[in-house]
Structure 1
């Protein structure tokens, strides 16, 4: 049943990505160049709406949503740089890459295969990488403050920067993202 649900939700997500143009390389390059902000507006609206929805569900039904907060370490930043470079070069990210593969785009075949090979190599080298400096916490390994209360990483609750309940923090920041989606101009620069 879980596999069927994953296939249905994944297919629906891919369909939405296709419909909003997120699988179109020209539109993605225009997004990265800030010459067409339609996708940015959709992304901001989606993140804000999801943030508010998940925290509302979790407040009404405690434990219904599993939040997994990861610690910051150098590997996250290096991985982010590699991801960003790959996104800029291919005009694809994991979600749009699989959706583009579903459309039958040949470049997406290489993108998805590269992602699978990279994942396989990471799995093979995980034990070694976990011992390197790239996978240590960024600043001296001590817990760092996070935005909302109740965040637990590696068994330790992290101090909060804002002493508000998670649902209220989500409402404030989610609402700000939704508002930003509406006030953001159509483009910041010409092509």
Structure 2
């Protein structure tokens, strides 16, 4: 079935692609920029897969018990003295994706993971992107217990037709209307 194929593919990806590994022979053949591009592509694929699996978990296509295995894989080998930077960034992405449901279904397990994450942050060996991502996750957990924060965020989009009608009411003497709405600058030329 489709579900089984997706699960097998995700599991295969996780098992095969834990680290970006390139042989010394291949490094010599490739320029440094090409190696960096491949490494960045690997990271992006890993993050995309983490988000995808998180969405599968949230939609009930995968049991939440699978999340424990994924978290274990991401956090294993990381301790406050020598954390795995890429896995810590991926863990932050994963916890952001599934934290709400994990907190609802396995709160004690999530609490133990958050304690371990806090210890890794306190260790001071994380790069800034991983550190601040994990700090955001810890803040979400402490402040709101991972409420569904994505539903709380609303973007207000100005009614552009209202702004256009206001500019036509000002008359032809205004060659252009320039009004700031939030961080968006709207410029309208007369006669356009």
- TM-score bracket, shorter-length normalisation: under 0.3
Q: Which has the higher contact order (CA 8 A, sep 6+)?
A: 1
TM-score scaled by length of structure 2? 0.25
Higher-strand-fraction structure: 2
TM-score scaled by length of structure 1? 0.25
